[in-house]
Copies of this chain bind each other. A is one copy, B any other.
Amino acid sequence: MPRKPPTDGEADTGVSRTRRATINDVARLAGVSKKTVSRVINASPSVQQATRERIEAVIRETGYVPDPQARGLAFRRSFLIGLIYDNPNPQYVVNMQLGLLDAMRGSGFELVVHPCDRGSETLVEDIRSFIERQKLFGVVLTPSVSEDERVAEVMREIGCEYIRVASVTVDAPGHMIETQDRLGGLAAARHLISLGHRRIGFISGVATFRSSHERRSGLEEGLAEGGLSLDPALVAEGAYTFESGQECARRLLSLTDRPTAIFAGNDEMAAGALHAARELGLSVPADVSIVGYDDFQIAARVWPPLTTIHTPTRKIGRMAAEKLMGREASDTAAEGHLPTLVVRQSSGPAPV
């Protein structure tokens, strides 16, 4: 096969363009052993400045990129980062992926996605074999699977790096990104109280998601600040789905002494509550205010647009990946990843 002519900007290094340069090519061209090239690749300090520069020049000329597969085989560890999740919300998943990829760009790591079913009996073994087989560099776990202690235990056992994204502290700081959902619930409560609401209902998420309890406890904290407490009669157990939100709201809004405001555990349920209010001939926010949680796209698409709690999922993903790769997260100390209130049109003054 005839060798292709070298392309612009690439010197003819004796390495044809159809075959990618290897560490051997670089070593030969730089007049060093491949071990020394390896040292440069791995940023070892013990390489003479002049040697390093010569090697780096050859790397540039040849367009050499180390083969992650070969490197991984020798390292006994791949350059893959896994995202293990069970949250079914597409917006959450995609935002998380985008955040992880933001941080991974140019790092040489790739993202492998691994949805799982927390209810599966083989969950823990499935995850273990996935990680061992691929020798993942590390994984990011998101709620609710991030809250499973057995899974975390497996990570430690097989020595896989991991970051758990969760609403509260469930692990050492080095293994955690906390979303502090309690603060979101608190903000929702304060908002509604400031609008004069005193009968505030709550639609919870799935009990197996820690966020569900945190959002509620934030609400309770806010109510307490206002001298109120959460009336058990105004609490409905939802499941983070549209349908469950609709059913729960239907029940709450049919009460003789119905709430003037409802805080739903997420936007999906809040959207369901909007439909329930409409069915019952109630106007939002004139008759009842509704507040969601997440600030996913749906929040601004429904009518009226939802007042909700914004969670910066993409940023959280970025922080998680940075932490996993050993870079100090750009704003670990800052609070840029905490939930914040977004006021739209589904909340208003309590009816008099």
Contact = CB atoms under 8 A, between A and B. Distances in A.
A82 to B, nearest CB: 9
Contacts of A129: 65
Interface string A66-78: 0111101100001
A274 B303 contact: yes
B90 A95 contact: yes
Interface in A294-313: 297-298, 300-303
A interface: dominant SS = helix
Contacts of A95: 90
Interface stretch (A111-119, A144-152, A178-186, A206-214): A111-119
A115 B98 contact: yes
Contacts of A68: 133-134
A131 to B, nearest CB: 11
A16 interface: no
Interface of A: 20, 65, 67-70, 72-73, 78, 80, 90-91, 93-95, 97-98, 101, 108, 110-113, 115, 129, 132-135, 242, 268, 271, 274-275, 278, 297-298, 300-303
Number of copies of this kind of chain in the complex: 2
A133 B271 CA distance: 44
A65 B111 CA distance: 22
30 contacts: A65-B129, A67-B73, A67-B133, A67-B135, A68-B134, A69-B78, A69-B134, A70-B73, A73-B73, A80-B110, A90-B93, A94-B94, A97-B113, A97-B115, A101-B113, A101-B115, A108-B133, A110-B134, A111-B112, A112-B112, A113-B113, A242-B300, A271-B301, A274-B303, A278-B303, A298-B298, A298-B301, A302-B302, A302-B303, A303-B303
Nearest to A133: B65
A306 to B, nearest CB: 11
Nearest to A130: B110
Contacts of A73: 67, 69-70, 73
Contacts of A110: 80, 112, 134
A80 B110 CA distance: 10
A33 to B, nearest CB: 21
Contacts of A133: 65, 67-68, 108
Contacts of A67: 73, 133, 135
A20 B298 CA distance: 47
Nearest to A267: B301
